[in-house]
Each structure stands twice: as structure tokens, then as C-alpha cells.
Amino acid sequence: MSSEWLRCVVVFLVAVPLVKAAPQPNIVFIMADDYGWHDIGYHGSEIHTPHLDKLSASGVRLERYYIQPICTPSRNQLMTGRYQIHTGMQHSIIWACQPYCVPREAKPLPQYLKGAGYSTHMVGKWHLGMYKKDCLPTRRGFDTYFGYLMGSEDYYSHVHCYYSPDEKKTFCGLDLRDGEEVATEYKGDYSTEVFTQKALSIIDKQDPDKPLFLYLALQAVHFPLQVPDRYLEPYSFINDPKRKCYAGMVSAMDEAVGNVTLALQQKGLWENTVLVFSTDNGGQTLWGGSNWPLRGRKATLWEGGVRGIGFVASPLLKQTGTTCNELIHISDWLPTLVGLAGGTINTTKPLDGFNMWPTISYGVASPRLELLHNIDPLYTNDLPCPGMSYQPLASGDSWANSDFNVSIHAAIRSSNWKLLTGDPGCGKWFPRPGDSGSDWNQTSNDPVKPVKLFDIIKDPEERNDLSDQFPSVVDNLLGRLYQYQKTASPIIYPRDDPRCDPSLQGAWGPWE
């Protein structure tokens, strides 16, 4: 080997600088509770959301983004990247006295991020089980936790009351924790403001040399309808008292998101942050929410229950100020965010989610062509829906002999098609807030058929059932539901345990 050749190699190595690896991005995930499709400014709402509008306008708005129709399943799929049928949580939510939680073998998102070197923090609503300490957020990958463990509670007293149908009694107690300890000093403080301040404190204390994962799961805008009076002042024009209070709660939430974003900027973290905003399910029309013009509401498989507000804001996006119309599901966040963090998915059970960063950031086609909304054999429709009824299949009716039992509450999306079976829940077209026009206050007198097919791209309001015109599509999608059902885990839904009584522990929390 000649000395001249060696000299050239040395010169080449010196002349080409080493490429420094891009720093891991900070990840901030903000989840709203029961936030309706119509209730954001950029969807034409009368409710003011300047911070959400501005933030989303600078990022990517996800207009075909799907969540689950109720809270525990959505949060479960966010944390595990798996459909609820694959974790045994396909029925209902986790009630306060039920002794179960997200299965321990399902590795949650914060554990993946912690393994990738992140500091991991959670503020707000957990609702993924708490009957034993191993179920708590601090045992599932979060370095710190401040929030409440159940579903709804009073925004000021932070007391949660639960009527147990098994025990035939009501249990009430404080539901607020700082880490694993009961937090008693926040009585009278409005939860949206308390949780925001906790998030701001985490941001302020963050080591800039270490990547941050902050999961802020706000109580807003779930009932009870409570908000400081100052947020009601801009809504004197709203006559419906529920809608008026709900609007104030949305404004408080919008202000909270603005404060979190500002804190990230002031700390110097924003330029390397990916912020995701998502609702957990559709709006609850019984408590002031609106999903107009979509059909249905929270707790239904209609678009009003499962199509959610969502967007991503970040200086790291390659295409900003855009709208994404690709199919994206809440189970996709785990592989997407772990991929962004440079982490590795190591699980013995396959994920149902996909890495959507190329779709969101670059605008490429979504890898997701199909989406299972749910299969719940135990479903019962317990919420009032005047004028609507469900028609069971009679012997000899179409698809009565399908391998999939079409009386089961289920729905699946494939390309432009959406198939629903059984009773999807309240299927009314609720009018736009403040509009009593007959065009939108529609209720069919005919019972809802047990098999319904819609072209969601052409008919997002689910008005034209095409099951009779496209029987081959129905057969294909019923076959897909049957295949999914064969992979489903047994449903976990135990009876209430009387040891849950918060008076025995001084507050809601682990009892085993």
C-alpha cells in the first residue's frame, strides 16, 4: 500500500465532517375528553378556539382520524397500539369498583419511550384501571403522575361518586393523586387550571439535554358541566344552558393548550417538539357537545362517536399548514411516536397500529387500508335516543346465515366502505347548535337494520345505506369481522369488588 494512497484516505476522512445525529424530539400528547367534532373553530363552531385553530393551522389537521366511542378503549389503544379486542377490553369502560386494568403483558407507550431515554410524565385522567398498585401510571412507565384515576368527577372538589349495580349502593370519595399518594390540598381549584399548572411546572423543570414525553389528559370537556364564570361571558348569545357551559369549558381548555405551547417556546423546547392533540371520543349531545354534521354521538359506532378532532403541530413537520385526509387511528400513535423517538418495538404480540409519521409529515399515502372499530358481543344501549329503535334479524333475512353474528354490536372500515352490524347506538342526526331546522333534526321512524353499509367518503353523514346494492361488499366485510373475532381475547369485565369502597382507604385507589 503506497504512502500516497494512505495520505489521500487521511485527507478524505478529515475533509468529511461526521454527521451529527438529529436529537430525539420532545413529544407532548394532549387529550381532550368528550370533545365534539363540530366544537372547534376550524369546523365552523360558534365556540371560540383561537389557540387550537392557530396551532393546528401551522401543523397538519387530521380530518379522517378515528378514535373509539368511549374513553377507556381509546386510552387503552393509545397506550398499547392494539385493538381493544386484543386486550380483552372490548366491552364498556373500566368502572370504579371493577378489579382489572390494562393487561400487564401489554407494554405501554411510556415504557417504550423511557427505554429510549425519555423522561416520562403524565398529568390528568388515567382510567385504565387502579385496583392494585401495579396498575397505576407510575408502574406503567411514567416517571411522575398527577391526576385522577377514574372517569368523571367534580372539577372543584375532585370527588368521584359511583353507583355499583352489583353492590346496590353508591360509593363516593376523593380521586386525585400526586404520584401514588392522595392529593388533598386542591379542593376548590378548577381541574383544567390545576392540570395546566402541573404541565407547565414539568416543562419548566425539564432538562433540555434529555427528551421529554408529556401526556396531558385533560378532564375537559367531560361532564359535569362546570367552569369559572369568566369563561361564560363571551357566550351570552347561546340560549341552551348546557351548550353555554360546555362552550365555556372548551374555551378554558383552549387557553390551557395555548399556555402549554407558550411554555414550550419560552423554555426553548418548541423547535424540537412534536405536539399531538386528540379527543378520546365523539361529543356527548346530552351534555352540550355537538358532532354536526356527523350522525350519532359518544358511545355509538356512528361517525359522530368514532371520528375525532385531531392534529399534529411541530416545526419538525416537512409539510405544514396542510390537511391530511388519510385514514389514521388512535392505535397508530404508539408505533408513530416510538419510531420518532428512535425506539424499538419489541413485543410478542403484533401491534394493530402503523407508523404514520411519513403520512402526517410528508403527505404520503397511509399504510392503513382497514380499521376495526370494535366487536362487542355484550353491548347494550342504555342511553335514551327518542324515536330510534333496532330491528333484529328474522329467520331468512339477508346475511342471517353469515359466519359472523350480525346481531353483535360491531363496525369495520375498509377503504371507502364502512359496515355496521347489530345496534350501533343512538343514530340520530342532531341539528347544528342553535338550528332547529327540519333538515337536520331528522329521526327515522323505521327501525335501524342490523346490517348497514355506507360509502363514508361520499356519505360521511351516513344517510344512504347501500347494503342492498352491494351485497358482495357486505359479504367481504362480514368475513373480515369474522376473522377478527377469531383473534379476539376473552372479554374482561368482572363484577364489582366491595373492597373498592374509598371510605376504607380514605380515597379512591388500589385496594388489593
Residue type, 480: R
> What is the rounded CA–CA span in Å between residue 375 and residue 411?
7
Q: Please, which residues have CB within 8 angstroms of residue 130's CB and are 6 or more apart in sequence?
A: 101, 136, 149, 150, 508, 509, 510
Q: Could you tell me the end-to-end alpha-carbon distance of the chain, in angstroms, rounded to an integer?
A: 73
Question: At 219, which helix (H) or strand (E)?
Answer: none
**506 torsion bin: left (phi>0), alpha (psi -120 to 50), beta (else):** left
Question: At 357, which helix (H) or strand (E)?
Answer: helix 357-357
Point out the catalytic residue in the list 38, 51, 91, 127.
Answer: 127
> What is the rounded CA–CA span in Å between residue 439 and residue 154?
37
Contact between 76 and 353 (Cβ < 8 Å) = no
Query: DSSP secondary-structure letter at 359?
Result: I
Please state whether beta strands 60-62 and 322-324 pair in parallel, antiparallel, or not at all (unpaired): parallel
Task: Check whether the bond before 494 is cis (ω within 30° of 0).
Answer: no
Contact between 37 and 283 (Cβ < 8 Å) = yes
Neighbours of 236 (CB within 10 A): 8
SS3 318: coil
Contact between 246 and 306 (Cβ < 8 Å) = no
> What is the rounded CA–CA span in Å between residue 127 and residue 150?
5
- Phi, psi at residue 242, to the nearest 5°? -65, -45
**Would residue 324 show up in a list of annotated catalytic residues for this protein?**
no
Point out the catalytic residue in the list 43, 51, 71, 426.
Answer: 71
Q: Please, which residues have CB within 8 angstroms of residue 368's CB and are 6 or more apart in sequence?
A: 326, 327, 328, 329, 332, 354, 356
> What is the rounded CA–CA span in Å between residue 404 and residue 203?
49
**Would residue 71 show up in a list of annotated catalytic residues for this protein?**
yes
> What is the rounded CA–CA span in Å between residue 142 and residue 247?
32
Q: Which residues are catalytic?
A: 71, 127
